[in-house]
Structure 1
Amino acid sequence: MAKGAERLPGTSSRIRTRDDGCCSVNFLKYVLHIYNVVLFLSGLAVGGIGIWTVVAKHNYISLLPTSTYPILAYALIVAGTLAIIASWLGCGGVTSENRCILIVYIFVVMAVLVMEAGVGLMSRLYEEQVDLELKVHLNRTFLDNYSVRSRETAAIDAMQIEFKCCGALRFEDWLHSEWSKDEEVIENRSLVPDSCCKTPTLFCGRRDHPSNIQYTGCIYKFLETTKDHLIILGAVGLGLSVLELFGIVLGTCLYIELRHNFDD
Structure 2
Amino acid sequence: MAPSKSRDADCCSVNFLKYVLQIFNVVFLMAGGAVLGVGVWTLATRHWQLALLSTASYAVAAGALVAAGALALLGAPLGCVGVWREHRCLLLLFTFVLLLIFLLEAMAGVLSYVYQEQVYRELETSLNSTFLGAYRADPRRSAAIDLVQHQFRCCGAMRFEDWQYSEWRRSEAAGLNLVPDSCCKTVSQGCGRSSHPSNIHYSGCIYRLSEEIEGQLIVLGAVGLGICVLQVFGMVFSCCLYIKLKDVVDW
Find the partner of 2:146 among 139, 149, 157: 157
Find the partner of 1:106 among 55, 79, 95: 95
Gaps spanning 5+ residues in structure 1: where?
Answer: 1-7, 10-14
2:240 paired residue number: 253
Are 1:189 and 2:176 matched, yes or no? Answer: yes
Shift of 1:197: 0.5
Q: What CA deviation, in whole Å up to 9, does each residue of 1:20-72 have, x standing for no partner?
A: 34311000000000000000000001000001111221122111111111111
- Equivalent pair of 2:6/2:248 in contact (CA under 8 Å): no
Calculate the aligned-residue CA RMSD, in Å. 1.6
- Name the amino acid aligned to 1:190: N
Q: Secondary structure of the residue that 1:254 maps to in structure 2?
A: helix
Tell me how far apart the structure 2 counterparts of residues 60 and 231 of structure 1 sit (CA, whole Å). 15
Find the partner of 2:13 among 4, 7, 24: 24
2:105 paired residue number: 116
Tell me how far apart the structure 1 counterparts of residues 154 and 47 of structure 2 sit (CA, whole Å). 19
Are 1:217 and 2:187 matched, yes or no? Answer: no
Q: What CA deviation, in whole Å up to 9, does each residue of 1:68-117 have, x standing for no partner?
A: 11111111000011112111111000001111111110000000001111
Higher radius of gyration, 1 or 2: 1
- Name the amino acid aligned to 1:209: H
- Equivalent pair of 2:6/2:250 in contact (CA under 8 Å): no
1:71 paired residue number: 60
1:234 paired residue number: 221
Tell me how far apart the structure 2 counterparts of residues 241 and 196 of structure 1 sit (CA, whole Å). 42
- Structure with the bigger RCO (C-alpha within 8 Å, sep 6+) is 2
Shift of 1:263: 8.0
- Name the amino acid aligned to 1:252: C
Shift of 1:146: 0.5
Shift of 1:181: 0.6
- Name the amino acid aligned to 2:229: V
Q: Secondary structure of the residue that 2:54 maps to in structure 1?
A: coil
**Aligned pairs, number:** 250
Are 1:201 and 2:188 matched, yes or no? Answer: yes
- Name the amino acid aligned to 2:198: S
- Name the amino acid aligned to 2:70: T
Are 1:91 and 2:80 matched, yes or no? Answer: yes
Match runs of 1:116-135 below 5 Å: 116-135=105-124
Shift of 1:189: 2.2
- Equivalent pair of 2:7/2:14 in contact (CA under 8 Å): yes
Q: Secondary structure of the residue that 2:118 maps to in structure 1?
A: helix
Q: What CA deviation, in whole Å up to 9, does each residue of 1:226-263 have, x standing for no partner?
A: 00011111111111111000000000000001112238
Which has the higher mean CA deviation after the structures are superposed, 67-76 or 30-39? 67-76
1:143 paired residue number: 132
Are 1:244 and 2:231 matched, yes or no? Answer: yes
Shift of 1:16: 5.3
Find the partner of 1:169 among 140, 147, 158: 158
Aligned residues with identical type, % of pairs: 51
1:81 paired residue number: 70
Gaps spanning 5+ residues in structure 2: where?
Answer: none
